[in-house]
Amino acid sequence: MGYNNWVSQSIMNRRGSAAGKTGKMHTLTEEQQAEFHFTIGPYSKPVLSVAPGDRIVIDTRDAFSGRIKTEADKPSEKIRLPFANPQNGPIMIEGAEPGDALAVHIEDMVPRGEQPRGTCALIPEFGALTGTYYTATLNQPLPEIVRKVLVDETTVHWSDKVKLPYKPHIGTLSCSPEIDSISSLTPDNHGGNMDLPDMGPGTVTYLPVRVPGARLFIGDAHACQGDGEVCGVAVEHASTTTIRVDLVKRWTIEWPRLEAEDFIMAIGSTRPLEDATRIAYRELIRWMVADYGYEQFDAYMMLSQCGRVRLGNFVDPKYTVGAGILKKYLP
């Protein structure tokens, strides 16, 4: 797992309470989870409590709660909103207080469950290239289509002709908002349904803590995903995801952030898409100013030359964009 070696130099390990030490290993199986959650907030009952530095092996369900077993199973019949995108958690982090940041290192993701494990679908009035609940039109919906896809630890078998690399990521990752409880389909400043392809094994996500204990929720594993998740659905699959968590005390961040071996990224989620991008870039500038010694307008002008934008999704109730910079430009 060479991609994890850089983590010893990450913000997580340099500034976290566990100081790079790995603690206990926990599991969170489907049985332990029992009731999955479709809203992310402070009102649900914790399933687990862990310490900074601890690792957790989590069995996530796919976004359809595993109900789309064949290409004849229609999401519109098997799923009633708002009961899509089940989340594991809440996991309590010992010592977490509002104003801290929770670091989540995704160490590993492997697919699980019966084949074909992967599910893609066209869902009526959902996706970027169709009228939707919000972009309300009078057109007939697109046909409802389900695509079951073989997924193994190296390959997504999209079709006879096209094989895609298995490049998994976590679609939905959150700490609880202070008083709101937000649909697991929606991303916002708490994290949520960001659908950011970078949020996979080997990266660390930092989330703002807004309630005591942080209340971590996680779910929505994707076997692969294109920028924007244009049809509204990735290759959704159940996963066994191993994370390690830590606390960066008194690191008060307003929006989620991500660190990888060679870049850092700030994440914004709202509509329209330009505002999500504005949030991400402004947060990145603030980060460069606070932690890397940049003057804000110098950072602004320099990102105009070397900033990198990743479109997470532009299909959810809010859209997600990451704005990043290579670490080598942060001397």
Asked if 253 touches a copy of itself (CB under 8 A), the answer is: no
Q: Which is nearer to a copy of itself, 2 or 143 (CB)?
A: 143
Query: Which region, judged by CB under 8 A, interacts with a copy of itself, from 63-71, 102-110, 168-176, 233-241?
Result: 233-241
Quote the radius of gyration of the chain (alpha carbons, Å).
Answer: 19
Distance, in Å, from the CA atom of 242 to the CA atom of 58, rounded to the nearest integer, reads: 6
Q: Read off the tokens for 6.
A: 């850089």
How close are the terminal C-alpha atoms of the chain, in Å? 26
Restricting to residues 42-61, which ones interact with a copy of itself according to CB under 8 A?
A: 43
> In the bound complex, what is the minimum distance in angstroms from residue 316's beta carbon to a copy of itself?
12
Q: Which is nearer to a copy of itself, 47 or 309 (CB)?
A: 309
Distance, in Å, from the CA atom of 85 to the CA atom of 131, rounded to the nearest integer, reads: 21
Asked if 235 touches a copy of itself (CB under 8 A), the answer is: yes
> Can you give 99-135 as a three-state secondary structure string?
CCEEEEEEEEEEECCCCCCEEEEECCCCCCCCCCCCC
Contact present, 104 and 241 (Cβ < 8 Å)? no
Asked if 301 touches a copy of itself (CB under 8 A), the answer is: yes
Closest CA to 63 of 176, 146, 162: 146
Restricting to residues 184-223, which ones interact with a copy of itself according to CB under 8 A?
A: none
CA distances from 12 to 54, 55, 57, 253, 322 (A): 13, 14, 19, 14, 19
CB contact set of 207 (below 8 Å; sequence gap of 6+): 101, 102, 104, 173, 174, 175, 190, 191, 214, 216, 256
Q: Which is nearer to a copy of itself, 47 or 128 (CB)?
A: 128
Query: Which region, judged by CB under 8 A, interacts with a copy of itself, from 36-44, 46-54, 97-105, 238-246?
Result: 36-44
The two beta strands, 87-93 and 48-50, are: parallel
- SS3 state at 99: coil
Asked if 277 touches a copy of itself (CB under 8 A), the answer is: yes
Restricting to residues 102-161, which ones interact with a copy of itself according to CB under 8 A?
A: 120-122, 127-131, 133-143, 145, 147, 156, 158-159, 161
Query: Which region, judged by CB under 8 A, interacts with a copy of itself, from 22-30, 65-73, 87-95, 280-288?
Result: 280-288
Contact present, 88 and 171 (Cβ < 8 Å)? no
Asked if 70 touches a copy of itself (CB under 8 A), the answer is: no
Query: Which region, judged by CB under 8 A, interacts with a copy of itself, from 11-19, 56-64, 230-238, 243-251?
Result: 230-238
Asked if 64 touches a copy of itself (CB under 8 A), the answer is: no
> In the bound complex, what is the minimum distance in angstroms from residue 51's beta carbon to a copy of itself?
28
Q: Which is nearer to a copy of itself, 103 or 299 (CB)?
A: 299
Query: Which region, judged by CB under 8 A, interacts with a copy of itself, from 4-12, 23-31, 89-97, 303-311?
Result: 303-311
What residues form DSSP beta bridges with 245? 104
Query: Which region, judged by CB under 8 A, interacts with a copy of itself, from 47-55, 62-70, 257-265, 309-317?
Result: 309-317
